């Protein structure tokens, strides 16, 4: 089995899990915030945990969606100069940039692990959770993103020209 097939299989599974989590997280945010609005304006009360959980869902949803954007090529890019290059040079530059971005994601991955470990004993105010709950999606998203970027750097057919 080729490296491309192995990476594609791993990324397909990771993408499916991320997509399901992003959908679930977005739905959770909508439900929690909607219930909180009704509680505040209709019943003149609120849940202490609602703001914290909607913030957690937002962070998890955003960081787990980043690799899906990388996969689809939907992130913002400025290509004013690059579009003037020949296709072969554009592909080479895309591979180089993917490799550099993968390196950056690996640094983010390692740094996020260090920060999560150092903040593990800190607790959130309204719920009894570690504050590292905000760094876990950064760790997962950075690793998932790095895998996509490595795949793009290694497999030139996957890079749009």
Show me where the domains of the chain are located: 3-158
C-alpha dihedral sign at 104, 109, 115, 118? negative
Do residues 141 and 112 touch, judged by C-beta distance below 8 A?
Answer: no
The burial of 113, by beta-carbon neighbours within 10 Å (0-12 exposed, 13-18 middle, 19 or more buried), is given as middle
- The rounded Cα 123 to chain-centroid distance in angstroms is 23
Percent of the chain at pLDDT exceeding 90: 61
Under the banding of pLDDT at 50, 70 and 90, the label for residue 156 is low
Q: Which residues pair with 130 in a beta bridge?
A: 123
pLDDT for 14: 94
Contact 22, 144 (CB under 8 A): no
Residue with the two structure tokens 């945010």:
29
Among 145, 144, 152, which residue's Cα sits nearest to residue 99? Answer: 152
pLDDT at residue 130 tops 60: yes
Identify the helix (H) or strand (E) that includes residue 79: none
* Residue 159 pLDDT level (bands cut at 50, 70, 90): very low
Residue 69, both tokens: 């954007």
Question: Which of the four pLDDT bands, split at 50, 70 and 90, describes residue 160?
Answer: very low
Kindly report which listed range (73-77, 82-86, 125-129, 133-137) carries the lowest average pLDDT score.
Answer: 73-77
């Amino acid at each position: 089995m080729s490296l491309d097939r192995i990476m594609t299989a791993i990324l397909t599974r990771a993408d499916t899990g991320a997509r399901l989590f992003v959908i679930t997280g977005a739905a959770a945010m909508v439900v929690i915030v909607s219930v909180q609005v009704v509680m505040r304006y209709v019943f003149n009360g609120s849940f202490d945990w609602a703001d914290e959980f909607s913030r957690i869902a937002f962070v998890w949803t955003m960081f787990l969606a980043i690799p899906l954007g990388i996969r689809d090529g939907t992130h913002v890019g400025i290509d004013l100069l690059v579009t003037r290059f020949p296709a072969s040079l554009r592909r080479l530059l895309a591979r180089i940039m993917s490799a550099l971005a993968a390196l950056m994601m690996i640094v983010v991955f390692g740094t996020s692990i260090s920060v999560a470990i150092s903040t593990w004993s800190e607790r959130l105010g309204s719920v009894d959770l570690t504050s590292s709950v905000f760094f876990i999606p950064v760790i997962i998203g950075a690793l998932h993103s790095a895998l996509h970027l490595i795949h793009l750097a290694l497999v030139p057919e996957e890079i749009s020209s």
